[in-house]
Amino acid sequence: MKYLRKVMLSIICLAVIMALNHIVFDTTQGKPPKPAYKSSMRYVEIHSHFITISDNRFAIEKHLNEHRSGMSRVAHFIMPQSGIFKDVTSSRDDYFTHIATEHNIKTLLFQTTDSDKDGHGVFQWIGSKSLCRALGNYKGNIPYSNSCTTNMEETFSAQRPERKPRFKLPVNDTLTEELFQWGTISSFIHIIQNGIISNDGVVFVGDLQVIPYSCLDRPEAIQASKEHFSTTIKDKLDQLPRYGEVFVITQFWSGEFYHGMVESLPRLSRYIGFIDKRNDIKIYVACTSFMKSSLQTIFPSRNISELVICDKIGPILAARVYFPEGTPCGMYKSSQSGVYQMSREFNKYIGLSIHIPPKNYIILIKRTKHRILVQHDVIASFLNDIAKQNDMELFIYADDKLPSFSDTRNLFHQARLVVAPHGAGLANTLFSTPGLFVIEIVCNHPHLNLCYRQLAIFLGHHYHGVSSQFGCESTLNVDVNEVKEAIQFYIKHIVKKKNS
Ligand SMILES: *[C@@H]1O[C@H](CO)[C@@H](O)[C@H](O)[C@H]1NC(C)=O
Ligand SMILES: *[C@@H]1O[C@H](CO)[C@@H](O)[C@H](O)[C@H]1NC(C)=O
């Protein structure tokens, strides 16, 4: 098990490195993106399989509904004549050029304008000296460094998130080799006729193997997914369970808390209202208890057993597949992730079950199996004193006696400060209101992984990283003074705000 974890960890790191290499590649190419059309032209003219609409739920629902009425609801699947599938993933520049060749896929592209208020404030992240030093000495491939600041005041300088050009699209039905890029497409969804969904979240349609941008996006995993099709699906096409309409959000590793909550679930964020009103649509998902509880929170009036198809049942054939954009492994490379919208959805419902006035929790996450923080007790006692002095409450969130899902939700919703060693418990900050202070004790080289910094930034939280002095996988050792210094600084602001 331990060995497996190690392998998985290195795979995650590798995936993150690969994803980041893409960023480097993209930004160092230097050439400004070439616009396909003047902005007065409607994007709908690019290609008959693509429609560009504005990125709001009303428009999205309307268009999904129009497509819905025009498609057959009886599923059948024909193997490609060559017997071979071409794998396509949106991490690749030529993704939409391949997608455009398949008449069973229609794509809605969501367009935003600069005046859209879709963005929210993001705060400058801070590092203690130990983290800035670790980043300065960092020799890995991930371009983490450059902007590390130890000046905690800077956490209050909010910026608008930067919007990067993201997708390259085919020009027209001629499908020239030339690719074009738009900065204003924020996301997309495919509506697929007759697709086989396999339990890694991949959809086989026509001669394409459509892969969500996710932790699967590595050559060997893509190959394994292909082999899975030819060894276990191909000869049993007639026996596959058949469905009418299926919305797929499962991704590689989404049975794990972090990947499930932060990468898989946010794929739903634009479509909750659309799905809620239509009982015929089922969600294909990794059925963990946290996923079911999450779905029950955002679909309060639905019977979750009837809403979901568990990916455990294996591959299925669906007449109509809704395939929203995937979330990259570790969320690097996404400039806008659905995670902020998902967090707002949660907060809408959690807020209803919180007593007024809300508690002001300080949460200290305690790990007892892996990545055990050696200085836990010292920090706990320091936080306990601070909580008492300021009429707040310290909650030790320990992985050997985890509260229920709904208690966890309500707890993190009322948290003002979370202190934690690197680990999945931090994904619960999804339930917190924006503006939370997060102090994370990250692993030192070579285990450094800043995916929770990325999450905090996306969620509009304040992030402060401290590097462990040594250790990672079994135990971490931190300079307690660095942690105390950060706590003292942020608590002043929390108390000031609480009393104002
Ligand atoms: C499609 O785009 C190519 C490249 O710009 C152009 O040469 C061709 O005439 C266009 N075809 C149509 C049908 O507009
Ligand atoms: C929800 O659906 C399942 C499966 O159809 C059914 O067994 C169960 O009784 C339903 N629960 C409620 C509360 O209706």
Would you place residue 261 in the very low, low, confident or very high pLDDT band (cuts 50, 70, 90)? very high
Spacing, Cα 242 to ligand 2 middle (Å)? 21
The pTM of the full predicted model, rounded to 2 decimals, is 0.87
Would you place residue 50 in the very low, low, confident or very high pLDDT band (cuts 50, 70, 90)? confident
Residue 165 pLDDT > 80:
no
Query: Helix, strand or coil for residue 243?
Result: strand
Would you place residue 358 in the very low, low, confident or very high pLDDT band (cuts 50, 70, 90)? confident
Residue 180 pLDDT > 80:
no
* 426-435: pLDDT as tens digits: 999 999 999 9
Q: Please work out whether the CB of residue 172 comes within 6 Å of at least one atom of ligand 1.
A: yes
* CB burial of residue 369 (10 Å; 0-12, 13-18, 19+): exposed
pLDDT of residue 45: 55
Rounded Cα gap, residues 427 and 266, in angstroms: 12
Q: Which residue has the tokens 């304008």?
A: 113
pLDDT of residue 175: 59
Ligand 2 atom nearest to 304, measured from its CA: 1
Q: Please give the average per-residue pLDDT across 136-149, as a whole number.
A: 75
Lowest mean pLDDT among 175-189, 292-306, 378-392, 484-498: 175-189
pLDDT of residue 146: 63
Rounded Cα gap, residues 435 and 432, in angstroms: 8
Q: Please work out whether the CB of residue 48 comes within 6 Å of at least one atom of ligand 1.
A: no
Q: Please give the average per-residue pLDDT across 383-409, as a whole number.
A: 96
Q: What is the per-residue DSSP string for 324-337?
A: EPP--GGGTT-SS-
Residue 326 pLDDT > 90:
yes
Spacing, Cα 376 to ligand 2 middle (Å)? 44
Sign of the CA dihedral running 270, 275, 281, 284:
positive
Spacing, Cα 174 to ligand 1 middle (Å)? 6
Kindly report, as residue ranges, where domains of CATH 3.40.50.360 are found in the chain.
122-159+354-499
Choose the residue to mutate in 295, 301, 305 for probing ligand 2, maximizing ligand atoms within 8 Å of C-beta.
305
Choose from 5-9, 166-170, 191-195 the range with maximum mean pLDDT. 191-195
**Considering every ligand atom, which ligand is closest to the CA of 306?**
2
Cβ atoms of 100 and 170 within 8 Å: the answer is yes
Average pLDDT for the chain: 85
Q: Please work out whether the CB of residue 279 comes within 6 Å of at least one atom of ligand 2.
A: no
Lowest mean pLDDT among 271-275, 330-334, 370-374: 330-334
Residue 80 CA, distance from chain mean position: 32
CA atoms within 13 A on the CB side of 263: 31
Q: Please give the average per-residue pLDDT across 402-413, as a whole number.
A: 96
May I ask the CATH architecture of the domain 122-159+354-499?
A: 3-Layer(aba) Sandwich (3.40)
pLDDT of residue 176: 58
Rounded Cα gap, residues 264 and 283, in angstroms: 12
Rounded Cα gap, residues 474 and 373, in angstroms: 9
pLDDT of residue 475: 94
pLDDT greater at residue 165 or residue 410: 410
pLDDT greater at residue 456 or residue 11: 456
Strand boundaries in 355-453, DSSP class E: 361-366, 372-373, 393-398, 415-421, 437-442
Phi and psi angles of residue 9, each rounded to the nearest 5 degrees, phi first: -60, -45
Query: Helix, strand or coil for residue 406?
Result: helix
pLDDT of residue 19: 40
Q: Please work out whether the CB of residue 368 comes within 6 Å of at least one atom of ligand 2.
A: no
Lowest mean pLDDT among 119-133, 357-371, 406-420, 471-485: 119-133
pLDDT of residue 71: 73
Lowest mean pLDDT among 277-291, 319-333, 374-388: 319-333
Rounded Cα gap, residues 496 and 318, in angstroms: 55
Alpha helices in 333-450 (DSSP H): 339-350, 376-389, 405-413
Length of the chain: 500
Cβ atoms of 387 and 488 within 8 Å: the answer is no
Strands 475-476, 208-211: pairing kind: unpaired
Report the percentage of the chain scoring pLDDT > 90. Answer: 62
Q: Please give the average per-residue pLDDT across 201-212, as a whole number.
A: 96
Would you place residue 332 in the very low, low, confident or very high pLDDT band (cuts 50, 70, 90)? low
pLDDT of residue 24: 31
pLDDT of residue 29: 37
